[in-house]
Every structure is written in structure tokens, then in C-alpha cells.
Structure 1
């Protein structure tokens, strides 16, 4: 159930492709070996190519739903896994961008929470945006709504 003020994020296609690129290169290497040495290397090439496609599709299956009350992470192709953390439990934000992610205007966002089952929430390969400000505002709103005050 998605409302108007909910934010749905997914890893970018380029991020998924970059994560599958080593397997694609390995598949091409096996293909070249089948041409030079033995045609049986084509089987290895097809298997590694299938693994690359699965990895790309798996990364693209991640969905990050950010509402005013919780953050829900859904992942999986054949078997779905859904993790949910209440918004008021989020404590800290960390944005990391490698050089490659900066080239494609992507970022990895790490949320640190007080939830025992989801202490670290990773949102990988999402487009650069002001989502941290949105999450910060929603955390403050959720804490105020639930009368939760942080003591240091």
C-alpha cells in the first residue's frame, strides 16, 4: 500500500550492471577459451552468463519503501524477504560514494538504527537525491508523534 507521500527507491540499472560486470567479463573469457582451446568452455561461459543475469535481476529486485512510519526493504526473485524498521528507531545516516558511483550520480545510504534485528540498513545504488533530509524529517516527526525523546 503506497500513499502519495511515500518514497519508493530501487537500485539503478547502471549499479546492477556494474555489480554484474566481473561475471560478464568472466563469461567472455570462457567464450574466448572455447574458441582457442576447447568448445566445452562454452558451457562454463553460459553458466557464468546465467549467474551474471541472476545477479543483475536480484539487485534490481530490491525495493526500498520509505513511509512516514517505517522503512520497508523487499528483496528476492524466487523467495521474497521483507525487512521493516520503524522510522523512530533510525539513529544515524552515512552516505558513501565511490568514484564510480560519483560518475553515475549514485550513492549508498547506510542507516544505523536501534532495532535489534536490523541495526544496519543499507540502501545501495540509489540515485543521488535529498532523501537523507526527507528521512531526517520523518524520523523527527515519528519521534514526536510517539513521544520518544533521545537521551545522550
Structure 2
């Protein structure tokens, strides 16, 4: 059910690496400690490397599937979770970019919806684009198709 106007987004590999960088530095620190103090620190280094590898895989497992009718967020490695929000429920858009994300042309997009189970939807580490304009047009179209009018 993949149409031409469907959008599939995933967090960038670089974003996942930046999120795991503190764990990688900790693993290197344990590796150096094993060289200087005791070889048993290698076990800590391997454990932290395993946690970092799992975290990279988990971040990369996020998939944001945007159609004209809904937004579906899939995440998880061993246990999948799929959240779906109807497009007409999206109320507001917030783009945040730290200095590092600006350097690598990435962004975090936060969607605020009127859905009670998914009031805040975070699309993290996606490539910088004009996705907000596309989403805004799709939200307006979905509201028009469902005869939903916002009262302030």
C-alpha cells in the first residue's frame, strides 16, 4: 500500500552515532583502564559496546510513514510498537535544531495532536527538508475531507 505521495522517513545514521557517542567514549575509557589497571575492565568495555550497538540499532529501527490520511510511527527491535495518528488530528508543528544538527543538516520535528494517546509525536534525526509544508497541506486536506473545523 505504498503510493507515490507517501513519505517514509528514518533517523539518519549520523544522528544515531551522535546519540551513542557518549557510550562509545565510555567504552574507550574502559579499554584504556584495562590496559593501565586490570584486564577485567575489558568486560565492562565489551558490555558498553554491546549497549551502544543495541542503541544504534534501536534508533535506526524508527520508521515514520506519512500518508495523506495518517502518520504511522514504527519502532522497536525485539518488540515492535506501532503508533498511528490520523492526519486531521495534528494541530501544531515545532522544528528544533541544535548546533550539531544544523551542521549535519538534520532536524527534530515535534507534532502536537489532539489525540489523547499520542499528544506529542517526535520525529527525531530526520533530514532537513520542507516536510512541514507538506504536512500542513495534508492536514488541511484531511480536515476538509472529514468536515472538521477548528474553533479557537
Partner of 1:100: 100
SS, match of residue 54 in structure 2:
helix
Could you tell me the TM-score, scaled by structure 2's length?
0.99
Aligned partners of 1:54 and 1:88: how far apart in 2?
35
Q: Which aligned segments of 4 or more residues in structure 1 are displaced greater than 4 angstroms?
A: none
Aligned partners of 2:74 and 2:45: how far apart in 1?
31
Partner of 2:42: 42
Equivalences for residues 55-74 of structure 1 within 5 A: 55-74=55-74
Aligned partners of 2:137 and 2:11: how far apart in 1?
23
> What is the RMSD of the two structures over their aligned residues, measured on CA atoms?
0.4
Could you tell me the TM-score, scaled by structure 1's length?
0.99
Aligned partners of 1:36 and 1:92: how far apart in 2?
53
Is 1:77 equivalent to 2:77 in the alignment? Answer: yes
Residue ranges of structure 1 left out of the alignment (5+ in a row)? none
SS, match of residue 72 in structure 1:
strand
Partner of 2:136: 136
